[in-house]
Amino acid sequence: MKHTMAWTSTIIGLAMHGDSEEALQTFKRMQEDASVSPDQITYMGVLCACSHVGLVEEGQRHFTEMRNVYGIEPTIEHCGCMVDLLSMLSWPLRRSREIGRENANPAQCCCLGSSSKWL
C-alpha cells in the first residue's frame, strides 16, 4: 500500500505542477514494477496529466485500461476528467455522454448530460 502511495503522490505532484509528460512516464515505470498496482487515485493523476497536455487517445486508453486490466470502476471524478478532456479538445459531445451513461448512476448522468448546455 505504501509503495502505491509513493508512486501515486509522485504522479499527481508532477501532473499538478505542469510536468504531465514526466507524470505519464512515471506511471509507465509504475506499471513495470510488478510489486505495485495503480488504484483509483493513481488513475485520477494519470487522467489529469492526459487532460493537461491534450492526450485524448492516451486518456481514453487509460480510462479503459483501469477497468479492463486493473478492475477499477471509474468514479464520477474519473468520468468528469474524461468529459473535461473530450470537451476541451472539441471531441463529440456524444462520446462524453457515452462515458457518463456507461459509468455513472442516474443522478450523475443528469449532471453530465446537463453539461452539454455549456459545450
Look at residues 94, 102, 30, 101 and name the one whose alpha carbon lies nearest to residue 64. 102
What pLDDT was estimated at residue 75? 93
Domain definitions of the chain by residue range: 2-118
pLDDT < 50 regions, the chain: 106-107, 109-119
Domain covering 2-118: architecture:
Alpha Horseshoe (1.25)
d(CA 30, CA 70): 13
What pLDDT was estimated at residue 94? 57
What pLDDT was estimated at residue 116? 46
d(CA 11, CA 41): 10
What pLDDT was estimated at residue 86? 81
d(CA 9, CA 88): 25
What pLDDT was estimated at residue 29? 97
What pLDDT was estimated at residue 111? 47
Which helix (H) or strand (E) element contains residue 46? helix 40-53
What pLDDT was estimated at residue 98? 64
What pLDDT was estimated at residue 54? 86
